[in-house]
Amino acid sequence: MSKKNSSSQNKELCLKFKTLPTFAQRLISYIHYKTGAAAELILIVLLGVMALACQDKFDVQLKNGRTFTSLYLMLLARSGSRKSTVFKLLMEPIYRLEKELKDDFLVKEKLYEIKRASWKAELKKLNKQFNKADAVDENDALKAIEECQIREPVEPVRPRLIIHDSTIEGLIKVLALGSPSLMLGSDEAGGLFGSNLFRNTPALNSAWGEGRISDSRASRESYDADDVRLTILMLLQSEIFNDSMVGKQGKGIRSTGCLARFLLVDLEQIPELCNIPDACSWSDEAVLEEFFCLLTKHMQDGIKRREKNEERICVTFSPEAQVAWNSQSGEIQEKIKKGGELHHYDDFGARFMEHASRIAAVMQMFITPDSPIITKETLVSAFKITEWFINHLMMKIDSTRKYSDSEILFFWLEEHVPSNKSYDFRRHSIRRDGPNSLRSIERLISALNKLESDGKVQLFKEGGVDYVKLIGSEIKPEDLAIALNIPLISSGSVGFNKLPRHE
């Protein structure tokens, strides 16, 4: 992504309200009316709570097998953006259900304590009888002890639906001990993002893609969790994310593929927040109550499904949606090839279709919960939402990463084509007037050689002078002619100037 395209990139960071499903538009309109929060913020929290509700009830069928409906979501926004307000509002039914589960657990815990007290008394009595038994009765007494031990009451485990803060060890333990479908969610996730959770990203990768996570250490108790479902919803300030991404942690998060599994939006990158039509006219709480009822039902269904050990419902695409899926997949594959617009972000591009499929499945189940078929309309909306997320992620990575010498040089050459009045630059002039970091002839030549191997520049010598021709420039000859006040009818020479020289 070049600097000259920053204006068009900024437009791609804007959420288009009409691309969202109708039910999402209604919900967002009402929640905005009630809280004043941005539509972008509301959408991300909505997707997070819906993913949690769906993840233990539904899977989605792709060409290479089933995948999950879990999502990893991250919103970056400054203090005062109403992150906590929206988070608490939409988490209300989840907290309510978790309290019911806790109350049920407390009843089971009291019964367990009563049963265990009786069991311990019985075992103690049998041990005394064994100690007093003679050789004839010893075997019978031992058998009675063994049968009693088999009847030891099983301690109930408190099920959790959401945890707000955790180390990777703590997360694995909760998933393994009675809470296999979970949300790691926080409206103040700065500390969470800086914890060891994001220094052990392979575990998060496994939870996202395989549903399996483990922690095996010789120095402490180990846990293995299989068939888990994890949704992550993190709301934090941009500065915390930026500082983390600049250091070693940021390189690790991307190099392990963890960042590509996240759907990220930074409100501070958006030039203009989404316009919500007729937002002030919404005053009916029925739309929110209806959503809460569906949310609770999906979660209860997921809990019952596990108790009965039943298969998850497999969500599939309608024939029209499958055609659209295949077409979009082909376009993405072209874009991640060398020279494509996603080539330098192929880790993000490679996850595009799975992200979109998960989002489509989550949204569809709230539109038609009794018909697990994704329509073309819902899938196209998911494509738009996924593209919005990916654009934010690419822009954020560009703004926080350190550019290579060749990238710095290419940006400088692009910027100075009009003032140079040509695509041909003297190498000496670049060294004298170019980026400070490339004043060293060794670094400059190394950067030029890299650009030449990438097909961006052509190096040649004429009259004993070293030149650099910017053949990979995105500045069109007619645009350069306009910048130089050259009549378009006479701009042919400018076009020839960009063409590679024949040796």
CA distance 164 to 162: 7
Number of alpha carbons in the 13 Å side-chain half-sphere of residue 227: 11
Return mean pLDDT, the chain. 87
Q: Are residues 179 and 204 in the same domain?
A: yes
Average the pLDDT over each of 53-67, 107-121, 399-413, 451-465 and give the range with the smallest value: 399-413
Q: Is residue 234, in this structure, part of any structural domain at all?
A: yes
Residue 8 pLDDT > 70: no
CA-closest candidate to residue 204, choices 259, 251, 165: 259
CA distance 224 to 216: 8
Q: From 88, 117, 150, give the residue that closes a domain.
A: 150
Q: Are residues 216 and 241 in the same domain?
A: yes
Percentage of residues in the chain having pLDDT higher than 70? 89
Look up residue 456 and give its two tokens: 């961006």
The reported pLDDT for the residue numbered 135 is 60
The reported pLDDT for the residue numbered 139 is 84
Q: Is residue 155, in this structure, part of any structural domain at all?
A: no
Residue 490 pLDDT > 80: no
Q: Are residues 71 and 130 in the same domain?
A: no
Q: Are residues 301 and 413 in the same domain?
A: no
Q: Is residue 503, in this structure, part of any structural domain at all?
A: no
User: If you average pLDDT over residues 453-469, what whole number do you get?
Assistant: 90
pLDDT bracket for residue 342 (50, 70, 90)? confident
Q: Are residues 138 and 166 in the same domain?
A: no
Kind of pairing between the strands at 181-186 and 162-163: parallel
Q: Are residues 345 and 436 in the same domain?
A: no
Give how many domains the chain has, as a whole number.
Answer: 3
Q: Is residue 133, in this structure, part of any structural domain at all?
A: yes
User: If you average pLDDT over residues 438-447, what whole number do you get?
Assistant: 92
pLDDT bracket for residue 488 (50, 70, 90)? low
Q: Which residues contact 244 (CB under 8 A, 6 or more apart)?
A: 193, 194, 198, 250, 253
Q: Are residues 146 and 289 in the same domain?
A: no
pLDDT bracket for residue 1 (50, 70, 90)? very low
Q: What are phi and psi of 72, to 5 degrees?
A: -105, 115
Q: Are residues 350 and 283 in the same domain?
A: yes
What is the residue type of 462?
Answer: E
CB-CB neighbours of 25 under 10 Å = 16
Residue 219 pLDDT > 70: no
Look up residue 451 and give its two tokens: 């650009």
User: If you average pLDDT over residues 118-128, what whole number do you get?
Assistant: 91
Q: From 150, 174, 209, give the residue that closes a domain.
A: 150
Q: Are residues 390 and 415 in the same domain?
A: no
User: If you average pLDDT over residues 443-472, what whole number do you get?
Assistant: 91
Q: 181-192, pLDDT tens digit by residue?
A: 999 999 988 878
- Please name every residue paired with 67 in a beta bridge, in sequence order, or none if there are none: 60
Q: Are residues 287 and 165 in the same domain?
A: yes
User: If you average pLDDT over residues 297-303, what whole number do you get?
Assistant: 95
CA-closest candidate to residue 396, choices 327, 465, 345: 345
| Sheet strands (E) in 247-366 | 262-266, 313-317
The reported pLDDT for the residue numbered 3 is 39
3-state helix, strand, coil in the chain (%, to 5): 60, 10, 25
Q: From 116, 150, 184, give the residue that closes a domain.
A: 150
Residue 9 pLDDT > 60: no
Tell the burial category of 6 from Cβ atoms under 10 Å away from its Cβ (0-12, 13-18, 19+). exposed
Q: Which domain holds residue 481?
A: 405-498
User: Tell me, what DSSP letter sits at residue 198?
Assistant: G
CB-CB neighbours of 223 under 10 Å = 18
Q: Are residues 45 and 115 in the same domain?
A: no
Average the pLDDT over each of 26-30, 232-236, 390-394, 495-499 and give the range with the smallest value: 495-499
Instruction: For tokens 């109930």, name the residue.
Output: 156
User: If you average pLDDT over residues 121-137, what whole number do you get?
Assistant: 81
Look up residue 158 and give its two tokens: 């408190």
Average the pLDDT over each of 71-85, 112-126, 260-274, 280-294 and give the range with the smallest value: 280-294
The reported pLDDT for the residue numbered 426 is 93
Q: Are residues 473 and 423 in the same domain?
A: yes
CA-closest candidate to residue 206, choices 345, 53, 70, 347: 70
Determine contact, residues 156/115, Cβ cutoff 8 Å.
Answer: no
What is the residue type of 345?
Answer: Y
CA distance 389 to 357: 14
Average the pLDDT over each of 15-24, 196-205, 423-432 and give the range with the smallest value: 196-205
Look up residue 474 and give its two tokens: 């995105």
Global pTM value: 0.80
Residue 494 pLDDT > 60: no
Helices (H), 210-256: 238-246, 248-255
Residue 221 pLDDT > 80: no
Residue 4 pLDDT > 50: no
Q: Domain containing 455 — which CATH number?
A: 1.10.10
User: Tell me, what DSSP letter sits at residue 188?
Assistant: S
